[in-house]
Chains A and B, each alone.
Chain A
Amino acid sequence: MNIVYAILVLSILGAIFAVILAVASIVFAVKTDPRLPEIVDALPGANCGGCGYAGCSDCAGHILDGSAPVNACPVGGAASAEKIAAIMGVESGSAEKEVAFVRCNGGTAAKKRFEYRGVLDCVSATKVAAGPLECGFGCLGFGSCVTACQFDAMHIAPNGCAVVDPVKCTDCMACATACPRKLIISVPVSKKVHVACINQDKGKVAMSVCANSCIGCGLCEKEGKKDAIHVTNNVAAIDYDKCINCKMCTKVCPRDCILPIATPEEKEKYKAVKKAQADKAKAAAEAAAAAQTAAPAPNA
Chain B
Amino acid sequence: MKEIFSIALGAILVNNFIFAQFLGICPFMGVSKKIDTAVGMGVAVTFVMGLASAFTWLANEYLLVPLNLAYMQTVAFILIIAALVQFVEMFLQKSLPALYTALGIYLPLITTNCAVLGVALLNVQNGYNFIESVVYGITGGLGFLLAIVLFASIRERLVFADPPKAFEGFPIALVTAGLMALAFMGFSGANVFG
A interface residues (Cβ-Cβ under 8 A, vs B): 2, 5-6, 9-10, 13-14, 17, 20-21, 24-25, 27-30, 47-49, 52-55, 57-58, 61
Candidates A6, A20, A48, A58; contact of B69 at CB < 8 Å: A6
Give the contact stretch, choosing among B87-95, B125-133, B138-146: B87-95
Partner of A30, one of B75, B94, B108: B94
Q: In the complex the two chains form, what is the Cα distance from A28 to B63 in whole Å?
A: 28
Bound complex: CA of A49 vs CA of B148, how far in Å?
A: 14
Kindly state the separation between the CA atoms of A14 and B76 in the bound complex, as whole angstroms.
Answer: 9
Known: A54-B37, A55-B109. A49 touches B30 (CB 8 A): yes
Closest to B91 in A: A28
Known: A20-B87, A21-B83. A54 touches B94 (CB 8 A): no
Closest to A49 in B: B30
Q: Which of B40, B86, B105 counts the most A-chain CB atoms under 10 A from its CB?
A: B105
Contact A2 B93 (CB under 8 A): no
Q: Is A21 within 8 A of B30, CB to CB?
A: no
- State which residues 120-162 of B face A: CB under 8 Å: none
Closest 6 CB pairs of A and B: A17-B83, A49-B30, A28-B94, A52-B33, A28-B90, A58-B105
Summed over the interface, the residue pairs from A and B with CB atoms below 8 Å come to a total of: 72
Please give 10 more A-B residue pairs, beta carbons under 8 A apart, in addition to A28-B91, A49-B31: A5-B67, A9-B69, A9-B76, A17-B79, A24-B90, A28-B93, A53-B37, A54-B37, A57-B105, A57-B108
Bound-state Cα–Cα, A20 to B80, Å: 12
Contact partners of B34 in chain A: CB under 8 A = 52
| B102 contacts partner chain A, Cβ-Cβ < 8 Å | no
Chain A's interface: helix, strand, loop or mixed, by majority?
A: helix
In the docked arrangement, what's the CA distance between A24 and B40, Å?
A: 24
Binding site for A on B (CB under 8 A): 27, 30-31, 33-34, 37, 40-41, 63-64, 67-69, 72, 75-76, 79-80, 83, 86-87, 90-91, 93-95, 105-106, 108-109
Instruction: Provide the bound-state CA to CA distance between A13 and B87, in Å.
Output: 14
Which residue of chain B is the closest to A17 with respect to CB atoms? B83
Chain B interface mostly helix, strand, loop or mixed?
helix
- Check A10 against B76 for contact (C-beta < 8 Å): yes
Contact at B106–A20, with CB atoms within 8 Å? no
Please tell me if the beta carbons of B63 and A9 are within 8 angstroms of each other in the complex: yes
Q: Which residues of B contact A2 (CB under 8 A)?
A: 68-69
- B93 adjacent to A20 (CB under 8 Å): no
Residues of B within 8 Å of A20, CB to CB, are 83, 87
Contacts of A58 in B (CB 8 A): 37, 105-106
Residue among A9, A24, A47 making CB contact with B91, cutoff 8 Å:
A24
15 sample A-B contacts, Cβ–Cβ < 8 Å, listed by A number = A6-B72, A9-B63, A9-B76, A10-B72, A10-B76, A14-B79, A21-B90, A24-B86, A30-B94, A48-B30, A53-B37, A54-B37, A55-B109, A58-B37, A61-B105
Contacts of A52 in B (CB 8 A): 33-34, 37
In the bound complex, CA of A6 to CA of B67 (Å): 8
In contact, B109 and A24 (Cβ under 8 angstroms): no
